[in-house]
Amino acid sequence: MTDLSKIRNFSIVAHIDHGKSTLADRLIQETGTVSQRDMKEQLLDTMDIERERGITIKANTVRLDYLSDDGQDYVLNLIDTPGHVDFAYEVSRSMRAVEGSLLVVDSTQGVEAQTLANVYQAIDADHEIVPILNKIDLPASDCDKVAEQIEDVIGIDASGAIFVSAKTGQGIHQTLEAIISMLPPPLGDSKAPLKAMLVDSWYDAYLGVIVLVRVIDGFLKKGDRVRMMSNNSVHHVEKIGVFRPEMEAVDLLGPGEIGFITASIKQVRDTRVGDTITHEKNGTLVALDGFKPSQPVVFCGLFPIDSSLFEDLRSSIEKLSLNDASFSYEMETSAALGFGFRCGFLGLLHLEVVRDRVEREFDIELITTAPSVIYHIYMRDGEFIELHNPADMPDLTHVDHMEEPRIKATILVPDEYLGDVLKLCQDRRGIQLELTYAGSRAMVVYDLPLNEVVFDFYDRLKSISKGYASFDYQMLEYRTDNLVKLQVLVNEEPVDALSIMVHRDRAEQRGRMMCEKLKDLIPRHMFKIPIQAAIGGRIVARETLAAMRKDVTAKCYGGDVTRKKKLLEKQKAGKKKMRQFGKVNIPQEAFISALKMDN
Amino acid sequence: MVKNWQRAGFGLYIHWPFCQSKCPYCDFNSHVSSNIDHEAWTKAYLSEISKNHHHSSEKILSTVFFGGGTPSLMPSKTIEAIITHILSLWKTSNQLEITLEANPSSIDVSRFKEYKSAGVNRVSIGVQSLDNISLKYLGRLHNGKDAITAVQTAQSIFDRVSFDLIYARQNQTIKDWEKELLSALSLGTNHMSLYQLTIEDGTVFGDRAKIGKLPGLPSEDLSADMYTLTQEIMNNNRLPLYEVSNHAFPGEESRHNLIYWRGGDFIGIGPGAHGRYYEGPKRKATVMAKSPNKWLSQIDEVGHGAEPTTILSKSEEALEYLMMSARLVEGTDLKFLKSLDLNLIKHKNIKGLIELGVILIKNERMILTPKGRPILNSVLSELIS
Ligand SMILES: Nc1nc2c(ncn2[C@@H]2O[C@H](COP(=O)(O)OP(=O)(O)OP(=O)(O)O)[C@@H](O)[C@H]2O)c(=O)[nH]1
Ligand SMILES: C[S@@+](CC[C@H](N)C(=O)[O-])C[C@H]1O[C@@H](n2cnc3c(N)ncnc32)[C@H](O)[C@@H]1O
Ligand code: SF4
Ligand SMILES: [Mg+2]
């Protein structure tokens, strides 16, 4: 075991892309945890999707050994966290496992919405915070201004802020020293019964479920019989170790330490993050507070384009959910799309990540239906319905009233884009709660309907502010409003996968927009196709997709029929990427793109 | 029983894979080369022709086609040797058609006369455009005047002259095209091939289009309008359509190309050349090594330039016949198609397409209507779906 005073546990938190993972790289490198040869950029981002998109999705833990300037050896446990708002839950639970946070702020960008959100969470978790001003190698870096912002906007002391370039390694040594001097060592009692926090768990194809633990009191050893206090299930600890960042076995984990165990647990769902782990016998009596579970907020249907692949889809979704307990799924049937799953996600990026993984890791092409939130429906007869899918909307005549979820959104934006941002929020039925300034940047707080945000709000915000606005949100409450179901009919047939819930006042405009979009998204057919939007039985918008007029290849190559055959095959393959509704083929991307509101 | 070559003809295609320069739109098997060993090439053609005589010796040859590349760059000695050799091997029909593709920048009166005395009786000239700026765009070495001179020179030597135009080009308006087509018609040939520009992968244009650097291409509607207008003008000038892009005074159709479209027998000689012919009951599909050097050296090393031959299944045969014949105004012989494969097209699909007005059935032939022909690809894919 390591002496408590020689341990420092911390998370690295920041707004997206401010350089958390790169800073983690430098800390790993400077402490010699990974050989120079094995080093690569954003070493901890190991998933394909993480590497491809250059973002962190899953928090990662590493144990570092550090010989400090004071001549003492320390053990540092670092948790690199994701920056995107969808994965805020990863950040909050990571924070519960450590005593301090490195708050990374990109000194070319300044304080952003997630910077704020992270600070509030860190304060909630009683963390010491070390501000890190990153990217000082860039010409646009302005440390004084950003330090001032930190003090003004966040209200924390920035005098101890460290100037760092996670790229060049400048300031890394000072960062390590600040971790030792500014962050508190963990508290814990080695003589007390075992009390460990179940921080996270995931599935590994070879080892089964791996559980990330933080020991509070007592010791955890290989061979121990441990009990999960939430459900009293008992497990036998098979492997125990730490991440460096590869798994490395250790004999035991003592107070203040962070590591992993395996205990022949089959499913991630059998573990509960935030749970308290103790010994089967003579265990602790007092459980930790636990974490609030994450709640999916965005729902959509996932259907295989090739309907014969439904069973494959089922097994791939089951496999993915082994690893990601934060998304929910249940079977769904659609008149037009057949069998699929209604899945719940933490946000749109989360949705994209899961969809991408199904398509790539399991090679199943998907149709994703319009994302929706959960509506509360109060029926005339007193019945209460949670509506996850607009297709299931009951007949309006039986509905007494309906409620939709509202959020509190915090947006930070440079002055010059404020007008557009306000307009965007207003267009999305927002109610302004606050508007304050910090230097040349405004902070606006809006009360917004979640259904106006889940879809393309974030993209729109980014594009109207040229990428400078940042956004964070929290759930607020359910509130009554005048909502209706907007239906789309293609060639006179309703396409339930395109149904959405909208506010009555905006229904016609949305309907028009969707029809216009679909007109561009659906390829021409040999006949003309009416595209209509309807509320109840009433048509509110209509477009007509003209019939195809020309596609023949002009030149027929001297006797070379093979080329033409290839073309036909290509056409066939193209059709496979579409789903047939009546006589009309609709391409998969249409279901999402039709909803985008970019004008 | 009528043999396939008796039904639809038997022809010989000779591919000459060299050009003076490579056009940016072109993905034919054509290459620029400065040192061509003409003796070696002549020898290679002759020996490949001999080798292909065995499997089709009983057939009567109706056409020979020198295509490319730019066959008008071939020495007349080579052409003569090839034709002489062919005539020594096969019996030929009374009206043996021998076509040579020519590029306006390589037309030379004396050589053309030599081609004629060697037996060539039809030329097809790659005019592409009569507009100087467009010709530059298309990477051509000739200008409009050269093109006109070339056609007139050819007409003074040969009875049957055709030329190619490429339209639906970048920024071309329908008026531009109308004007250009009318002046092309004034040259008075009895055959014209009018191709809408196709952007092919792997060409300079293809690469540019991929990165969005090929602006001004016509929309689907404009290209459809151009096509319709083309039909009108050509009909008025007694050069009606007989294939998607080909127009002829009745009787002046390219008999060689008709063999392809009617599913006849043909032998392909030269780099990358394709062949299709029956040997007994089996229909063979052949292709020769694509790279000119490889083709030449392979003949030296293993005695032939061909890739392994495949035998087509009846359903493949049917599909090929359908795809080719549907391009023709005379359409598809449904009885013949069904003799190859009863199940290729479903009755229900035919019915649906008739209702849409894109095909019609007449005398047991399936014919694309004027509305259906421009969307042939979709019609085909619907027919066989
Ligand atoms: N010039 C410069 N670039 C940096 C520095 N630190 C990080 N970057 C770059 O900034 C980008 C984002 O860095 P990451 O480390 O992935 O950021 P992150 O905060 O982990 O991002 P998320 O995990 O997606 O929230 C990458 O392209 C890095 O190379 C720095 O000090 N200087
Ligand atoms: C082998 S070339 C004819 C002879 C000669 N090589 C020449 O270009 O003058 C065949 C014809 O195909 C047509 N062609 C080639 N590439 C084309 C394309 N990408 N789109 C439309 N037509 C094309 C041209 O009209 C060309 O004349
Ligand atoms: S269009 Fe004709 S001249 Fe131009 S590269 Fe192709 S074959 Fe050669
Ligand atoms: Mg990261």
Q: Where are the domains of chain B?
A: 4-260, 314-385
* The predicted structure's pLDDT at residue B116: 98
Min Cα–Cα distance to chain A from B377, Å: 5
Confidence of residue A563 (pLDDT cuts 50, 70, 90): confident
CB–CB of A55/A17 below 8 Å?
yes
Ligand 1: nearest atom to the Cα of A16: 25
- Which chain A residue's Cα is nearest to B226? A550
Q: Is B198 in the pocket of ligand 2 (CB under 6 A)?
A: yes
CB–CB of A271/A319 below 8 Å?
no
SS3 A354: helix
Q: Which amino acid is at B247?
A: H
Task: Report chain A's C-alpha Rg in angstroms.
Answer: 27
Q: Is A167 in the pocket of ligand 1 (CB under 6 A)?
A: yes
Best residue of B241, B260, B354 to probe chain A, by most A CBs closer than 10 Å: B260
pLDDT in tens, A423-447: 999 999 999 999 998 777 899 999 9
For CA atoms A87, A61, A116, A164, the dihedral sign is negative
SS3 A128: strand
Q: Which amino acid is at A550?
A: K
Q: What is the C-alpha to C-alpha distance for residues B78 and A194, in angstroms, rounded to an integer?
A: 95
Ligand 1: nearest atom to the Cα of A136: 31
Residues of B in contact with A570 (CB under 8 A): none
Residue range A339-351: mean pLDDT, rounded: 90
Give, in order, the Cα–Cα distances in Å from B44 to each of B72, B99, B221, B295, B300. 18, 20, 47, 9, 8
CATH classification number, B314-385, choose in 1.10.10, 2.60.120, 3.40.50, 1.10.3110? 1.10.10
* The predicted structure's pLDDT at residue A78: 97
Residues of B in contact with A558 (CB under 8 A): 13, 15, 65, 67, 257, 260, 268, 273-274
Q: What is the C-alpha to C-alpha distance for residues B21 and A258, in angstroms, rounded to an integer?
A: 70
* The predicted structure's pLDDT at residue A153: 85
- In percent, the amount of chain B with pLDDT more than 90 equals 97
Residues of B in contact with A527 (CB under 8 A): 356
B377–A575 CB contact, under 8 Å: no
SS3 A63: strand
Q: Is A17 in the pocket of ligand 1 (CB under 6 A)?
A: yes
SS3 B234: helix
Q: Which of A526, A546, A565 sits opposite B356 (nearest CB)?
A: A526
Q: What is the C-alpha to C-alpha distance for residues B267 and B90, in angstroms, rounded to an integer?
A: 13
Domain B4-260 sits in which CATH superfamily? Aldolase class I (3.20.20.70)
Kindly report the three-state secondary structure assignment for every residue of A311-333.
Answer: HHHHHHHHHHHHHCCCCEEEEEE
Residue range B248-261: mean pLDDT, rounded: 97
Q: Identify any residues that bridge with A278 across adjacent strands, giving them in sequence order.
A: A227
Choose among A72, A104, A74: nearest CA to A171: A104
Mean pLDDT for chain A overall: 91
What spacing in Å lies between the alpha carbon of A268 and ligand 4's midpoint? 24
**How does DSSP assign B296-364, residue by residue?**
HHHHHHHS--BPPPEE--HHHHHHHHHHHHTTBTT-EEHHHHHHH-TTSS-HHHHHHHHHHTSEEEETT
CB–CB of A574/A589 below 8 Å?
no
Q: Which amino acid is at A353?
A: V
For each of the domains in chain A, give its residue range(s) and CATH number, in order of start: 4-182 (3.40.50.300), 195-279 (2.40.30.10), 298-368 (3.30.70.870), 375-481 (3.30.70.240), 484-595 (3.30.70.2570)
Q: Which of A549, A558, A575 sits opposite B67 (nearest CB)?
A: A558
Q: Is A58 in the pocket of ligand 1 (CB under 6 A)?
A: no
Q: Which of A552, A557, A575 sits opposite B376 (nearest CB)?
A: A552
**Tokens 């039709």 — which residue?**
A594
A550–B268 CB contact, under 8 Å: no
Count the Cβ atoms, other than its own, within 10 Å of residue A193.
16
Q: Does A599 score more than 60 pLDDT?
A: no
Confirm whether the ipTM is greater than 0.90: no
**Buried-state track B308-346, b at ≥16 Cβ within 10 A, e below 16:** eeeebeeebbbbbbbbbbbbbeebbbbebbeebbeebbe
Q: Does B371 score more than 90 pLDDT?
A: yes
Global confidence as pTM = 0.73
The alpha helices in B163-277, defined as continuous H runs, are 174-185, 204-210, 220-236, 255-261
**How does DSSP assign A452-463, residue by residue?**
GTTTTHHHHHHH
Ligand 1: nearest atom to the Cα of A22: 15
Ligand nearest to the CA of A53: 1
Confidence of residue A598 (pLDDT cuts 50, 70, 90): low
